[in-house]
């Protein structure tokens, strides 16, 4: 099979197209708003929803399109706030990890991808809910290692935000520079992994084109309106709410993969 995947992605149960489109647009808007404030969140929130219909592998590949578009848009808007030095030291090694993870993604069975995604979402939720990026600042080689691992896991399962946020906290960037540099790093990872996804799951992505367009519209709207929509929510409360949601989605996906393998 193309890309060497050990089993083809299995589509999930049929869902009413209108209901699915509404849910994807709403979640995409929330995901775009989250990413606009935190520098990550699109893959964490959208991938589990699309996995219901397209399977984990198909969902990861499909979400990479709106993720890349929205990330490029945010990077352009925040370009003057990017810390170029940090991007060179941290972003490039993350992109290398994303390339390696993307190549691994093309060779992993769908059930294993679902379990990996679920575990990563749980870890991301715990990291965010506990405020670890604000409390723990890695030093020395740990920063490069986290950059490499975050890109690698982002390439495998489309989710890397928690690890990347933890690593970037070491550079003590002011909030806007943190989001801008995190976003630019994600764009480098997208540039490394997305072509591999399209090569290994091109048919699934083509079949999901209408819902990908809906998701893209949602994340772009969320990017533009996120700060206004969430203006009344304290940053600490917002972080905990989103982290809890991501963790719950991870538990659900991990449980689903364990049931299907038993």
Average pLDDT over residues 102-125: 77
CB 53 within 8 A of CB 11: yes
**105 vs 217: CA distance, rounded Å:** 26
Nearest C-alpha neighbor of 94 from the set 33, 174, 44, 165:
165
Q: For the chain, first and last CA: distance in Å?
A: 25
Mean pLDDT for all residues in the chain: 80
**211 vs 205: CA distance, rounded Å:** 10
Per-residue pLDDT, 2: 43
> How does pLDDT run across 2-31, given as a tens digit for each residue?
444 433 344 455 667 888 999 999 999 988
The pLDDT of residue 134 is above 80: no
Per-residue pLDDT, 239: 63
Give the chain's radius of gyration (CA, Å): 17
* DSSP tag of 81: G
Residues making up the chain, counted from first to last:
262
The pLDDT of residue 185 is above 90: yes
**69 vs 29: CA distance, rounded Å:** 14
Per-residue pLDDT, 11: 46
Per-residue pLDDT, 9: 40
Per-residue pLDDT, 4: 43
**212 vs 239: CA distance, rounded Å:** 26
Between CA 208 and CA 220, with CA 214 as vertex, the angle to 5 degrees is 130
Average pLDDT over residues 153-166: 74
**89 vs 112: CA distance, rounded Å:** 32
The answer to which of 39-53, 133-147, 225-239 has the lowest mean pLDDT is 225-239
**170 vs 137: CA distance, rounded Å:** 5
**99 vs 193: CA distance, rounded Å:** 5
Per-residue pLDDT, 247: 77
The pLDDT of residue 261 is above 70: no
Per-residue pLDDT, 7: 38
- For tokens 């393998």, the residue is 261
Confidence band for 1, pLDDT divided at 50, 70 and 90: very low
Nearest C-alpha neighbor of 30 from the set 262, 249, 260, 251:
249
Domain ranges for the chain, please list them.
Answer: 13-261
The pLDDT of residue 229 is above 70: no
High-pLDDT (> 70) share of the chain, %: 79
Distance of alpha carbon 170 from its chain centroid, rounded? 21
Residue 232 has phi, psi (to 5 degrees) of -85, 0
Per-residue pLDDT, 12: 52
Average pLDDT over residues 227-246: 63
Confidence band for 137, pLDDT divided at 50, 70 and 90: low
The CA dihedral of 5, 154, 98, 169, to the nearest 10 degrees, is: -170
Give the orientation angle of helix 110-130 with respect to helix 161-168, to 10 degrees. 40
The pLDDT of residue 108 is above 50: yes
> How does pLDDT run across 247-260, given as a tens digit for each residue?
776 787 788 777 76
Average pLDDT over residues 43-72: 88
**Tokens found for residue 132:** 């670890």
């Amino acid at each position: 099979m193309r890309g060497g995947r050990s089993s083809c992605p299995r589509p999930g149960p049929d869902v009413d197209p209108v209901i699915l489109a509404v849910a994807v647009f709403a979640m995409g808007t929330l995901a775009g708003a989250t990413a606009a404030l935190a520098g990550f969140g699109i893959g964490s929130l959208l991938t589990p929803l699309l996995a219901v219909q397209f399977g984990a592998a198909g969902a990861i590949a499909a979400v990479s399109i709106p993720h890349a578009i929205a990330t490029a848009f945010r990077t352009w808007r925040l370009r003057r706030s990017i810390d170029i030095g940090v991007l060179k030291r941290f972003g490039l090694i993350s992109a290398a990890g994303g390339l390696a993870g993307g190549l691994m993604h093309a060779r992993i069975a769908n059930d294993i991808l679902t379990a990996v995604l679920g575990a990563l979402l749980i870890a991301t939720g715990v990291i965010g809910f506990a405020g670890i990026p604000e409390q723990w600042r890695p030093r020395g080689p740990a920063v490069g290692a986290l950059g490499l691992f975050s890109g690698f896991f982002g390439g495998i399962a489309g989710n890397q935000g928690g690890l990347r946020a933890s690593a970037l906290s070491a550079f003590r960037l002011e909030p806007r520079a943190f989001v801008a540099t995190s976003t630019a790093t994600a764009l480098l990872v997208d540039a490394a992994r997305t072509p591999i996804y399209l090569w290994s799951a091109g048919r699934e992505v083509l079949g999901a084109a209408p819902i990908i367009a809906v998701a893209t519209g949602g994340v772009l709207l969320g990017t533009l309106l996120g700060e206004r929509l969430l203006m009344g929510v304290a940053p600490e409360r917002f972080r905990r709410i989103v982290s809890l949601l991501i963790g719950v989605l991870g538990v659900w996906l991990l449980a689903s993969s364990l049931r299907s393998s038993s």
